[in-house]
Amino acid sequence: MFQRLSTDTLNWILIIGVILFIIEITFFGGGMIISALFFGLFIYVGWKRFYRLWGKVFFWIGIIGLAFAIFNMIAIRFLVLAGILLFIVNYSKSKKEPNYIQPSITSQEDGSQETIIKTKALFNHKVFGDQETADQAYQWHDINIHGVFGDRNIDLSNTVLQDETAVISIRHLVGNIAIYIPYEVEVSIHHSSVFGRAHIFGLHHQKLMNQSLLYRTEKYESTYPRVKIITSLLSGDIEVKRI
């Protein structure tokens, strides 16, 4: 829809939105932001107990309340208005200057085109809900995801890691992360958390307050296969253990 929108224009819209967001916090007390966080907590609690009636009630109250809180923010109103105006401007330009698509013939002898292969990711970016690897054997692909609410469970015992460094990168707000590693795989872990606990190969950190943890197994630097784990949580626990 916004194919003609330049990166600079988008950056300016985001910068103005951030400035309005800061103004709202500074001069208006950030009431809508507090309300949004409050209803976000309702959503999380309701989702975790969605199988109960009161969990469903909490979840939908949170969804409705969060929607009202978000759309009452000055920054969000500006972004919505800017989006509508950009849509109108781009639609008007597209009517005056339609795009013409012409087929092009590429010579088979042209060796400048590099062959690439598209693969399917193990995880997709998911705002709400839990995610876990398959119970049956699966082909390994590096994991690089971010999310908001929910748990992430990764079991490496059902896949085969080649003689290389596998990467697991997870950036998450609220939820727990569990990673199960086979005994023959070396591991490097870099975990940061604002609130939460960590259980890493028998080492227990019961209270993490804005801390980072760095661990690696003894032969990580010299032995394959190995996995590099980078995780970041606002609030939640991480567990890494052998299986």
Report whether pLDDT(104) > 60.
no
Q: What is the DSSP letter of 115?
A: P
Report whether pLDDT(79) > 50.
yes
Report whether pLDDT(74) > 80.
no
pLDDT level of residue 187 (50, 70, 90 thresholds): very high
Tokens 């969605």 sit on residue: 50
For the chain, give the number of residues: 243
State the pLDDT at residue 119. 63
- Return the C-alpha torsion angle 67, 145, 125, 64, nearest 10: -20
Q: For helices 31-48 and 53-71, give the axis angle rounded to 10 degrees.
A: 160
Share of the chain above pLDDT 90, in %: 20
| Paired sense of beta strands 226-235 and 165-174, if any | parallel
User: 152-170, pLDDT tens digit by residue?
Assistant: 899 998 888 877 889 999 9
pLDDT level of residue 220 (50, 70, 90 thresholds): very high
State the pLDDT at residue 1. 47
Burial of 116 (0-12, 13-18, 19+ CB in 10 A): exposed
pLDDT level of residue 101 (50, 70, 90 thresholds): very low
CB 143 within 8 A of CB 165: no
State the pLDDT at residue 4. 52
For residue 70, give the nearest of 111, 17, 7, 12 by alpha carbon.
Answer: 17
Report whether pLDDT(78) > 60.
yes
CB atoms closer than 10 angstroms to residue 190 = 15
Collapse the DSSP code of 178 into the 3-class scheme (helix H, G, I; strand E, B; otherwise coil) and give the result: strand
Contacts of 105 (CB under 8 A, 6+ apart): none
- When the pLDDT of each residue in the chain is averaged and rounded to a whole number, the result is 80
CB atoms closer than 10 angstroms to residue 199 = 15
State the pLDDT at residue 113. 58
Report whether pLDDT(206) > 80.
yes
State the pLDDT at residue 173. 83
State the pLDDT at residue 115. 60
State the pLDDT at residue 232. 93
Distance (Å, whole) CA 34 – CA 234: 17
Tokens 């908001």 sit on residue: 148
For residue 233, give the nearest of 186, 182, 170, 187 by alpha carbon.
Answer: 170
- The larger pLDDT score, comparing residue 1 to residue 23, is at 23
User: 26's torsion region: left (phi>0), alpha (psi -120 to 50) or beta?
Assistant: alpha
Helices (H), the chain: 7-28, 31-48, 53-71, 74-96
Collapse the DSSP code of 76 into the 3-class scheme (helix H, G, I; strand E, B; otherwise coil) and give the result: helix
User: 129-139, pLDDT tens digit by residue?
Assistant: 677 887 777 77
What's the pTM value of the predicted model, to 2 decimals?
Answer: 0.58
State the pLDDT at residue 2. 46
State the pLDDT at residue 114. 66
Q: Which helix (H) or strand (E) holds 189?
A: strand 186-200
User: 27-72, pLDDT tens digit by residue?
Assistant: 766 667 778 888 888 888 888 888 888 888 888 998 898 888 888 8
E strand segments, 114-163: 131-132, 143-149, 152-155
